[in-house]
Structure 1
Amino acid sequence: MSEQAGTPSAFPDFPDVDHDVVIAGGGLAGLCLAKQLKDAHPELSVLVCERDRSPIPLSAFKVGESTIEVGAYYLAAVVGLRDYLEEHQLEKLGLRYFFGDRPDFHRESEYGVNRYLPAKSYQLNRGSLEEHLRLVVAGTGARLVQGVRVLDIDLGEGDAPHRVTYQPDGEGEGTTTVTCRWVVDATGRHRLLQRKLGLTKRFAQPHNSVWFRLEGRLDTDELVAAEHTAWHERVQGPRWQSTNHFMIEGGWVWAIPLAPHHTSVGIVVSDALHPVTKFNRIEKAVDFVVERVPGFDPAIRKLPVLDFRVLKNYSHSTHQLFSHERWACVGDAAVFADPYYSVGSNLIGYANSFVTEMIGRDRAGTLEPDYVRYANRWFLSLSEGLTQNIQGAYPFLNNPVVISLKTVWDYYVGWAFSDPQFYGRTFLDESASTTLSALGGHVVATQGAMLNLFKAWARRYRGVFEFDYIDYYDDLPTLARLFEQNLPATDAEVPPFGQVLTSVRDGIDRIEELAHVVFYLALEDALPEHVASVRARGWLNVSAVSLEPERWEKDGLFTPRSRPRPEQLAQLEAEMRRLYRAATPAES
């Protein structure tokens, strides 16, 4: 059966179709895209086909509850959900990490923030959020068909329309076929177009995850007795509202609060160190969590379990997610980056914004294949780089000093270089993005060298430094300044390119200085005999840092690629050294 929408196409000189855009999948990515498209181009006829019917279950629905600043800004400002998020979802007290195997939890090293950041982020109850989004999308004039399963996407050649076939899920054999100018696969891990076109890419080392939702609160603050007042007082807000990571060798355990009164618990690990058979049933998973976070026992065993899911080899990418032939993939139907930094909603924002831009250009008759190739290259470089950078650190996630410095490094790169491109929308402008990429070429090269440095340092770690608590905002004023200078003053503001360019240049300088400091600290721990000679050489080419002294001259470590900034370096080094102290000798 074919359906006729009765609405003329919004594309000039294009034959009538049932809909201008069909979105296969009405989860977070698909619904946000429908809202973004209708806001940008109200004349578009948009159809969303979704398998799950209302009402959506609350907490026991979908994983992906944690956002960080860019993803939260996308939902709040671009999609227009700020008032809803403020009223119905939990504000997030940042990312928080705990390190150590000591029985006294208050003695573990902790990395987090003590108060809410100027740019908000949220913990999302995906069930209530997506139920609300359905109402929002319907209010834009887009059409949402629930309870249907998309069977096939038949891509038209040239200017021929695409055909999307769906049927009621579990309610008979009848099918409906609709035609469209654009089709977007938002079917999640079903990945209809990826599978049909053979586009899926896998990462070399598999990583697995399980998660379950509990009815009630699994409170991180209750892991430490009230008598340990210094531990409780160093964080002003409730730790429960952070995305809490409990670090282990080869992975981490999460505890995330969900409105109104639920907790999400998960295990994310490298398969090489923790085979999925260790935790592939709820009883095993609870035992695994309790072994790492004994203070959660007995509460974790008493709270009712709402669901339990296992996901093997969770990360994937694609050879292509945008096409000049008028199709695209978004959300998990495109890529699934490692969840360690809660970047899923960031990537939804980038991909959906690219799709909205392409459809706008197509309507104007200005969409060129070169732009689509650029968009694919830009997005996949970001998403695959994130996963490779994160998963490269899994073997030493339990090393508090090395991984805390790597996390500071990653925040510098994100807040000072990547995030301004979203706030300023420069990633959508190939010319502006090319200018920023040229500036950041040194950062990209340094990023690879630094990841290798962290890996090598972790293997040779001697334990010279330690810390109790690092507040990655209040204790790092240079990072906080870089963060604040990039934030739009209002939801409607888009910083001009000149402002973004100035900010990125400033951030690149600070990133280079940080690389010097981290290298010095690594030498003091792993190669103390080389500290004096390296420092005597002055300003370095930080894209050549390593713990291989025999390669330093050949790799050009002592051939700087930028002007020396000794005063700024000294200031940043003093700031960073305040975070750590000389380690206390272990008791025999």
Structure 2
Amino acid sequence: MSIKAVAAAAANTASDDANVSAHDVVIMGGGLAGLTLALQLKNRFDSIDVLVLERRSHPVPHAAHKVGESSVEIGAHYFDTVLGLKPHLQGEQLRKFGFRFFFSEGRRDIDQVTEIGASRYLSVPSYQIDRGIFENYLAEEAARCGVRFVDNALVKQIDLAEDARQPHRLRWTQDGESHEIHARWVIDACGRAGMLKRKLGLAEPNSHECNAVWFRIGDRITIDHWSDNTEWRERCEPQARWLSTNHLVGAGYWVWLIPLASGSHSIGIVADPRIHPLDRFDTFDKAMDWFKTWQPALYDELDGKRHLLQDFAFFKNFSYGCKQVFSGKRWALTGEAGLFLDPFYSPGSDFIAMGNTYITDLIAHDRAGHSVEARAQLYDQIYHSFYESTLALYQDQYALFGDPEVLPIKVIWDYTYYWGVLSQIFFQDRLTDLALLGSLKEELQHCQKLNVAVQHFLRAWSGLTTKRNPAVMLDQAALPWFADLNRSLKDDLDDNAFRDRMRASAGQLRRLAAEILVRASTEHPGIEATELRMLLKEKMAMVPVHSTQGTMLFAA
């Protein structure tokens, strides 16, 4: 059944019984977060009645539609395995060649600067996703699975029930016609509009202030062609760099280059306003002038393609929190309707995956007749804990993005933390196993504290370096333990093995932190490291710090 046919069926249903229809779940917003939740619910409960109300008209345009095209391992696993969408992702989207970083500020000779990236694909896939293609497919797939999808729908009023025996009530309009619906659960997936957030006063700022602009160009940007240097071209899989999420980095900012399956390329500037104010690049012409100074090789690439500009947009202070995202009163927020971190490591789809998994589990317990008050509160605490620990990767860290000595170490640390802790929990399907996670509370809290201490230490270290920028590729695939950590996400662990894995991950993080401390302290004996030393001393009293030197990091 087509989307339009589903919309008509839903509208006709809504006209019955005095223009009121009842649904198990109403999802406000038919973008990435809302549609994947609808599919996850239908995968879990074949008979569940899900209505999705989407404000935009479908189908949506390709390429110039929404920002957030790059996925990482958790989000990719959610799409291809949890939701079973692998055929689409492998056939209609692009496999991502990991993250790649070039310290190319003010330079055209990209083959003569430090590059961070892998020379080959690692084991666990991720994808570059054309959001228009993907969301159109998700809407069709949802309709095929029995989800009622209504586009051009505008929610006008939400009345949340206080009594668990009563339904929530919503009023929405389509083409000027008004409808009233009742819902057991109401989910806000309407993005930054945040209808429930505004209604309930849940908006919460954080202290990470950054701005972003982005646009799409209707042509491929093949960074592999930016140099004729044969040795540089052959450092990694032939003609594959363009498939990476390429970061052109400098102090206080980074520029993204993301290819799209439709043939377009997504380009963005993300910057700390204390170093690069938004008004320097908040139009396409200003952005081009900015590129001419800060990333001239990209300027050269784009200057002859100005006529291929497809869109241009910006967000000021794009990062924000939310006081609560899950409620035992049968409502929840998912995706950007709740909170948003930073696009540097593309965590948006990860938090959609985790949020939707929590929502699905809450609805499952409610359908089984259980109270969800306590469980919703615990899920909210855990979700916010993940948010806070991930925020530490970005907060006050933009100044070191232009440091070719420290950023490579930070990337290794950040991914060891991500693959070793959060990814293990999600890939092993332990996100909702409260008893098992509770048994690991001490290890998880220690990892979070260690991450914060390392982020502080990296910032201090960068303040002392000379920013050496040699013409080398720091190949992450050449670190055997790093590639093995990525591969380990494919393991199938029982409870005891999962506990062992998490404890091993904590130990690996401690060893890596100790090596980082040794390297920085050797180069800069006076560096401040009190917080980090204390945490390591607590857990590594019997392990000499110097014993880890040279085993986990790139050669100095």
For Structure 1 versus Structure 2, the TM-score category normalised by the shorter chain is over 0.9
Q: What do residues 388-420 of structure 1 show as CA deviations (whole Å, max 9, x unaligned)?
A: 321321111100111111111111111111111
State the match for 1:254 in structure 2.
256
State the match for 1:580 in structure 2.
555
State the match for 2:528 in structure 1.
548
State the match for 1:389 in structure 2.
393
Give SS of 1:178's match.
strand
Distance 1:138 1:103, change over 3 A: closer
State the match for 2:505 in structure 1.
507
State the match for 1:87 in structure 2.
91
State the match for 2:542 in structure 1.
564
Give SS of 1:136's match.
helix
Residue 141 (structure 2) pairs with residue 166 (structure 1): no
State the match for 1:314 in structure 2.
318
Residues 57-68 of structure 1 mapped to structure 2, 5 A cutoff: 57-68=61-72
Check the 8 A contact 1:392/1:451 in 2, yes or no: no
Q: CA deviation at 1:309?
A: 0.5
State the match for 2:349 in structure 1.
345
Check the 8 A contact 1:2/1:177 in 2, yes or no: no
Q: What do residues 8-45 of structure 1 show as CA deviations (whole Å, max 9, x unaligned)?
A: 9xxxxxxx961000000000000000000011011111
Amino acid at match of 2:234: E
Distance 1:154 1:218, change over 3 A: same
Residue 130 (structure 2) pairs with residue 125 (structure 1): yes
State the match for 1:214 in structure 2.
217
Check the 8 A contact 1:66/1:342 in 2, yes or no: yes
Distance 1:402 1:298, change over 3 A: closer
Q: CA deviation at 1:463?
A: 5.2
Q: CA deviation at 1:487?
A: 1.4
Distance 1:358 1:562, change over 3 A: same
Distance 1:17 1:367, change over 3 A: farther
State the match for 1:372 in structure 2.
376
Distance 1:19 1:223, change over 3 A: same
State the match for 1:448 in structure 2.
452
State the match for 1:178 in structure 2.
181
State the match for 1:233 in structure 2.
234
Amino acid at match of 1:335: L
Amino acid at match of 1:524: T
Amino acid at match of 1:574: G
Q: Equivalent of 1:517, from 515, 518, 521? A: 515
State the match for 1:536 in structure 2.
none
Give SS of 2:256's match.
strand
Q: Equivalent of 1:25, from 29, 33, 43? A: 29
Q: CA deviation at 1:558?
A: 8.1
Check the 8 A contact 2:405/2:465 in 1, yes or no: no
Q: CA deviation at 1:484?
A: 1.5
Give SS of 1:391's match.
coil
Q: What do residues 226-257 of structure 1 show as CA deviations (whole Å, max 9, x unaligned)?
A: 2x111110011411000000001111001110
Check the 8 A contact 2:99/2:245 in 1, yes or no: yes
Check the 8 A contact 1:254/1:266 in 2, yes or no: yes
Unpaired stretches in structure 2, ≥5 consecutive residues: 1-9
TM-score normalised by structure 1 residue count: 0.87
Amino acid at match of 1:430: L
Q: Equivalent of 2:301, from 295, 299, 302? A: 299
Amino acid at match of 1:331: G
Q: CA deviation at 1:495?
A: 3.5
Distance 1:31 1:111, change over 3 A: same
State the match for 1:484 in structure 2.
487
Residues 344-363 of structure 1 mapped to structure 2, 5 A cutoff: 344-363=348-367
Residue 198 (structure 2) pairs with residue 198 (structure 1): no
Amino acid at match of 1:426: R
Give SS of 2:392's match.
helix
Residues of 1 paired with 2:501 and 2:469: CA distance? Answer: 32
Residues of 2 paired with 1:511 and 1:404: CA distance? Answer: 16
Check the 8 A contact 2:207/2:395 in 1, yes or no: no
Residues of 2 paired with 1:556 and 1:92: CA distance? Answer: 39
Residues of 1 paired with 2:256 and 2:218: CA distance? Answer: 16
State the match for 2:276 in structure 1.
274
Moved more, 428-437 or 334-343: 428-437
Residues of 1 paired with 2:33 and 2:141: CA distance? Answer: 14
Check the 8 A contact 1:220/1:239 in 2, yes or no: yes
Give SS of 2:391's match.
helix
The size of the alignment, in residue pairs, is 540
User: Percent identity between the aligned chains?
Assistant: 34
Residues 413-492 of structure 1 mapped to structure 2, 5 A cutoff: 413-462=417-466, 468-472=472-476, 474-488=477-491
Distance 1:281 1:500, change over 3 A: same
User: Over aligned residues, Cα RMSD in angstroms?
Assistant: 2.4
State the match for 1:534 in structure 2.
none
State the match for 1:540 in structure 2.
none
Q: CA deviation at 1:59?
A: 0.2
State the match for 2:6 in structure 1.
none
Check the 8 A contact 1:250/1:269 in 2, yes or no: yes
Residues 80-119 of structure 1 mapped to structure 2, 5 A cutoff: 80-101=84-105, 102-119=107-124
TM-score normalised by structure 2 residue count: 0.92
Residues of 2 paired with 1:310 and 1:6: CA distance? Answer: 40
Residue 141 (structure 2) pairs with residue 136 (structure 1): yes
Residues of 2 paired with 1:552 and 1:20: CA distance? Answer: 50
Moved more, 378-387 or 195-204: 378-387
Residues of 1 paired with 2:16 and 2:44: CA distance? Answer: 18
Distance 1:373 1:274, change over 3 A: same
Q: What do residues 485-542 of structure 1 show as CA deviations (whole Å, max 9, x unaligned)?
A: 2314xxxxx6422222221121111111001100011112222xx6xxxxxxxxxxxx
Residues of 2 paired with 1:483 and 1:365: CA distance? Answer: 39
Residues of 2 paired with 1:2 and 1:157: CA distance? Answer: 27
Distance 1:552 1:389, change over 3 A: closer
Check the 8 A contact 2:216/2:266 in 1, yes or no: yes
Amino acid at match of 1:178: I
Give SS of 2:70's match.
coil
Q: Equivalent of 2:155, from 146, 150, 158? A: 150
State the match for 2:3 in structure 1.
none
Amino acid at match of 2:456: N
Unpaired stretches in structure 1, ≥5 consecutive residues: 9-15, 489-493, 531-546, 582-588
Distance 1:314 1:557, change over 3 A: closer
